């Protein structure tokens, strides 16, 4: 289900060594080709000498398109030694959701998708359990169950890859999918797997963070959404949020409050990814809002 229709745009994201004249060169390039500049945001990482920029421009009325953009842009990119990517708003991203037994993050994503909040398609939901089939099928989305054990993990991941290829999936969302993905699988989808961790990373990583937090007597709890890397719970962070707690709250209270945060934070991360608002560098993200 797509968001309301808006005029088609191009989204140009770039990273390069910090230098004078980059912003002027980008604006001049777009003006030269008749593009109407809609949004522009930039950030300079002074510690590493890197410059980041996101520019969105209206496609109508300009002579840039998916066919000729690379050749037109190449000389500017080479002059500033840019790593860059361009996305077109008409290309609706295809999202696969992987789930376990817990429904709250999945249900929130489906509700937002049905409400038109997420400009993405959901061709498939995959799980290693049957538990959430009614939730998914009620939304009219195919649901596939691929059970897994330690011995069958390579076979199961190969089956998942085959389905993702068949469905032409652009990115994956782990909506409380309680399985650790192998390094080879992650490598095929680098910066395209979004996870939600029920803790304010890097604190309380791993299993049962609410018990860890309760035992430490914390005064806030949080949730973190990040890209998945081979280092468990250590990938580039996309979104985080916290809520106050006190000595009066039980472990159950912390989990309930945490589920609310998980829904909000995961949805925020997915929206940012879908809108091409994230650049990754030095295992950190630059998020343009």
Catalytic site positions: 233
Residue 181 to residues 120, 145, 199, 207, 224, Cα–Cα distance (Å): 24, 16, 19, 15, 18
- DSSP label of 96: E
3-state secondary structure of 168: coil
Strand partners, 15: 52, 83
CA atoms within 13 A on the CB side of 247: 0
- DSSP label of 126: E
- CB 275, CB 6: distance < 8 Å: no
The residue behind tokens 């994956």 is 172
Return d(Cα 205, Cα 186) in angstroms, integer. 19
Strand partners, 222: 242
Residue 287 corresponds to which tokens in the numbers above?
């998020």
Give the β-pairing of 284-287 and 278-281: antiparallel
Return d(Cα 156, Cα 36) in angstroms, integer. 47
Return d(Cα 235, Cα 10) in angstroms, integer. 28
Burial class (CB in 10 A: 0-12, 13-18, 19+), 13: buried
């Amino acid at each position: 289900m797509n968001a309301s229709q808006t005029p088609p745009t191009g989204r140009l994201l770039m990273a390069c060594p910090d230098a004078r004249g980059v912003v002027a060169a980008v604006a001049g390039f777009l003006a030269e080709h008749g593009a109407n500049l809609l949004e522009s945001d930039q950030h300079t990482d002074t510690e590493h000498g890197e410059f980041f920029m996101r520019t969105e421009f209206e496609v109508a009325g300009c002579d840039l398109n998916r066919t000729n953009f690379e050749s037109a842009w190449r000389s500017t990119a080479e002059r500033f030694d840019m790593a860059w990517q361009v996305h077109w708003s008409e290309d609706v991203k295809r999202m696969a959701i992987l789930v376990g037994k817990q429904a709250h993050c999945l249900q929130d994503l489906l509700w937002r998708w049905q409400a038109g909040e997420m400009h993405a398609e959901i061709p498939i939901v995959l799980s290693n359990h049957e538990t959430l089939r009614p939730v998914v099928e009620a939304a009219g989305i195919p649901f596939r169950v691929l059970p897994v054990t330690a011995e069958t993990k390579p076979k199961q991941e190969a089956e998942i890859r085959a389905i993702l290829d068949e469905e032409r999936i652009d990115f994956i969302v782990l909506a409380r999918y309680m399985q650790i993905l192998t390094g080879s699988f992650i490598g095929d989808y680098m910066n395209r797997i979004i996870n939600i961790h029920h803790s304010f990373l890097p604190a309380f990583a791993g299993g049962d963070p609410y018990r860890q937090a309760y035992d430490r007597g914390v005064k806030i709890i949080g949730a973190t959404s990040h890209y998945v890397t081979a280092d468990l719970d250590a990938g580039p962070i996309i979104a985080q949020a916290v809520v106050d707690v006190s000595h009066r709250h039980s472990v159950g209270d912390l989990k309930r409050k945490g589920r609310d945060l998980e829904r909000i934070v995961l949805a925020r991360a997915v929206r940012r990814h879908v809108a091409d608002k994230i650049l990754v560098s030095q295992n950190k993200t630059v998020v343009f809002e």
